């Protein structure tokens, strides 16, 4: 990696948060496979940067969640990139276990072809067992 050019201090207020105070985060494993897309608020991004483990904001539950908190399938964050408009992030992670709550390694386990959606991956864990309450 080349040295930082035009390096400046991170100011979370410079980020382009949406009207709900969120920013999308595309999550890739170390090999470049897209695992999931999630949202972060200021607190989730700050916690992720501080701890080195991914924390997101759940729009449906209206609360922060630490990836792997229930399943143990954590994401160790190796790098956080921000796009040119400061309105989207890419997290490069070491995925421990599966990223998808349905039991797949990636949330993108289906393909659209010939007007149909089909599963093209195998599960890596049993979601019903992992997420029993």
Question: What stretches of 1-133 adopt beta strand conformation (E)?
Answer: 23-29, 34-40, 55-58, 63-66, 75-82, 89-95, 110-113, 116-119
What architecture is domain 22-130?
A: Roll (3.10)
Higher pLDDT, 49 or 4: 49
pLDDT at 5 over 90: no
What pTM did the predictor assign? 0.88
* DSSP-based three-state secondary structure for 37: strand
- Contact in structure between 97 and 71 (CB atoms under 8 Å): yes
pLDDT at 10 over 90: no
pLDDT at 75 over 90: yes
What pLDDT digit, counting tens, does each position of 21-48 carry? Answer: 999 999 999 999 999 999 999 999 999 9
What does the pLDDT read at residue 58? 95
Domain ranges for the chain, please list them: 22-130
Q: Which residue has the tokens 């029993």?
A: 132
């Amino acid at each position: 990696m080349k040295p930082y050019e035009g390096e400046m201090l991170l100011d979370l207020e410079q980020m382009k948060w949406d009207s709900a105070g969120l920013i999308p985060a595309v999550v890739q494993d170390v090999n470049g496979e897209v695992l999931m897309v999630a949202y972060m608020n200021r607190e989730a991004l700050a916690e992720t940067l501080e701890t080195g483990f991914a924390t997101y904001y759940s729009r449906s539950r209206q609360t922060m969640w630490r990836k792997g908190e229930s399943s143990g399938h954590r994401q160790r964050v190796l790098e956080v990139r921000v796009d040119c408009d400061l309105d989207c992030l890419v997290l490069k992670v070491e995925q421990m276990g599966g990223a998808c709550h349905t039991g797949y390694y990636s949330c993108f386990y289906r393909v659209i072809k010939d007007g149909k959606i089909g599963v093209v991956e195998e599960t890596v864990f049993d979601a019903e067992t992992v997420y029993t309450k």
